[in-house]
Copies of this chain bind each other. A is one copy, B any other.
């Protein structure tokens, strides 16, 4: 579970430095502003204030830059969630905090939300595969949480944990995507509680 450390030394062997971050930030900004298909290397270089060729001193290819971007941003994203939910005891508290932290982080950085929810999904299969690889870290975190919940009898044990995870992640993803497509103009975090409630108790009105 140490594939992503808190300090971001994950890309061992990769040149780092001020420019490395600078280029990634430029990529996020350019993609958010112009869209995936209009985010040429030249534009990113200009935004970063470096020459086109300089990008290739820090990344082996444009694909590598995009993967690194996702890795970097998603790594922090996941670690923040992981750390925070450790402070909670029960499954339900942890799930709620996961949702809240998920939403908070994206709401705090709408540019990043645009990039990860909309733009990077337009990339080709190869890149998407690698992005999914990184996403897997998050999915595993959710899986753990679910299994923990089942162990402690907080989550119905007969449920397929994979399906549970798909429901949780699918729901969060869809909610965020809708928010981004509405130009991030309403409050996302406030929806954490009702969503948590739905996931936990379902949507059906039943006599109990």
Contacts and interface: CB of A to CB of B under 8 A. Distances in A.
Contact of A124 (B37, B154, B169, B201): B37
Contact of A205 (B128, B157, B169): B157
Interface residues of A, number: 48
Contact of A178 (B146, B166, B200): B166
Interface stretch (A11-19, A73-81, A102-110, A115-123): A115-123
B118 A125 contact: yes
B163 A175 contact: yes
User: Is chain A's interface secondary structure helix, strand, loop, or mixed overall?
Assistant: helix
Within the oligomer, what is the number of copies of this chain?
4
Contact of A123 (B122, B149, B181, B203): B122
A153 B203 CA distance: 11
A201 B198 contact: no
Interface in A124-169: 124-125, 128, 132, 146, 149, 153-157, 159-160, 162-164, 166-167, 169
Contacts of A173: 170, 174
A204 interface: yes
Given A121-B122, A167-B167, A201-B204, 11 more contacts: A35-B124, A122-B122, A122-B128, A149-B203, A153-B205, A156-B205, A159-B194, A160-B191, A166-B174, A170-B171, A200-B203
